[in-house]
Structure 1
């Protein structure tokens, strides 16, 4: 075949597309198990960070997770546990497409330094795409021990700041119930500069990131509402034991 002909050019280009595509597919398939392990370990790191277990490498994640996480529950909307579902495998992205009665709500029960914590996964919408995270509650089921947030495509220097430690620190010791006992979550509010008052159910907003902040506010409340029955059940058990 004439190498200067159009036919030869198209044939060569076609062969290259097939070869490169095959190589990319092989690489993707070969690397997927490693990618899955990295995603799993990063998830464990984020869960642990809410209770102050930080500086955990991905190689250490499984061991530390097993050390601090004492129980994993996949809750139904009535607060009972679905023993047939493993909490860690629940995909919130998929669950959010279901009706609440069909969803399963993961909960991680942790112990650290003699204290018990309840860690709830979060997922919502930011300005451009999904945001997600975890919120850890003390055993009073009201006080926040810590949070972890992440995002897919928020604006650098603005909405992307939700994952920075200085913003996460705002949430520590905030309450999710108001003074009347109503579950309100924590709102990201402009001008809330009083970082001492931990009973106002508010943290200061990130300048220029109003929509992302609103997304965090909505995400926290929307997810926590589905755990209220479980919280009420646990408080009832504690009251009857006392």
Structure 2
């Protein structure tokens, strides 16, 4: 009898059944863990988004403190349609730009965040485009003349470390401060990333490129100009803007 029991537990059928049970148990544990962590993960993403928005206007914070400062400095969140009108039915903060860019231009929603810091008003626009390997994205803030950059943040999905991934570095982001996005005729041209542009001028609509990352730099240039132009209809309707936008 004892030999039969040993033989049974050593059979292929027993091993196969044990493996199935083990896989089911492990899968169930992983699924439960993933489901349990989803609210925390979503909140972390929200807080990081708030951090990046605030960083464009010079407000630095850790993730846990982001919401308090966000509620303090962000005075409006607007969801705009292609005509520059506010769509009250849409929560601007929840708009996923990666999904919006897949829509026709006239069907997209354009989020806009308005900050007030020490009595100064800033307009913060989300950005998204293509780098060398995958998506690049970020935020850019404009002073109330809708021409001067206050600050910018950038991130990426899979740019090359030491090359395209340098767009996340502080030295690159700081180059955008005080750059102009309008040319001398009032046309919205954005800020271009150009190799060898390391002069002191802030009126040339250009910053110096990252060595060896031409395609990523072009992607940054393109996404800034493309996204900024989408907000022209809204800005033209605002009576307190200090410059004429074409």
Answer whether TM exceeds 0.5 for this pair. Answer: yes
- For structure 1, which runs of at least 5 residues remain unmatched after alignment? none
Aligned twin of 1:101: 106
Q: What is the rounded CA distance, in whole Å, between the counterparts of 1:80 and 1:184 in structure 2?
A: 22
Match of 1:35 among 38, 41, 55: 41
Residues 52-96 of structure 1, C-alpha deviation per residue, up to 9 Å, x if partnerless? 001x12111111001000011001111110011111011101111
Secondary structure of the residue aligned to 2:126 is strand
Match of 1:212 among 206, 216, 220: 216
Deviation, 1:223, is 0.8
Q: Is the 8 A contact 2:144 2:241 kept in 1?
A: no
Secondary structure of the residue aligned to 2:201 is coil
Aligned twin of 1:120: 125
Match of 1:8 among 10, 14, 22: 14
Secondary structure of the residue aligned to 2:128 is strand
Aligned twin of 1:69: 74
Q: How many aligned positions are there?
A: 237
- For structure 2, which runs of at least 5 residues remain unmatched after alignment? 1-6
Q: What is the rounded CA distance, in whole Å, between the counterparts of 1:199 and 1:163 in structure 2?
A: 23
Does 1:145 find its partner at 2:113?
A: no
Aligned twin of 2:160: 155
Match of 1:48 among 47, 54, 61: 54
Q: What is the rounded CA distance, in whole Å, between the counterparts of 1:174 and 1:238 in structure 2?
A: 16
Q: What is the rounded CA distance, in whole Å, between the counterparts of 2:240 and 2:141 in structure 1?
A: 20
Residues 110-159 of structure 1, C-alpha deviation per residue, up to 9 Å, x if partnerless? 00011000000011111111111000000000000000111111111111
Q: CA RMSD in A?
A: 1.4
Deviation, 1:235, is 5.0
Q: What is the rounded CA distance, in whole Å, between the counterparts of 1:7 and 1:175 in structure 2?
A: 72
Stretch moving more, 115-124 or 3-12: 3-12
When the two structures are superposed, what TM-score results if normalisation uses the length of structure 2?
A: 0.93
Does 1:18 find its partner at 2:44?
A: no
Distance 1:237 1:221, change over 3 A: closer
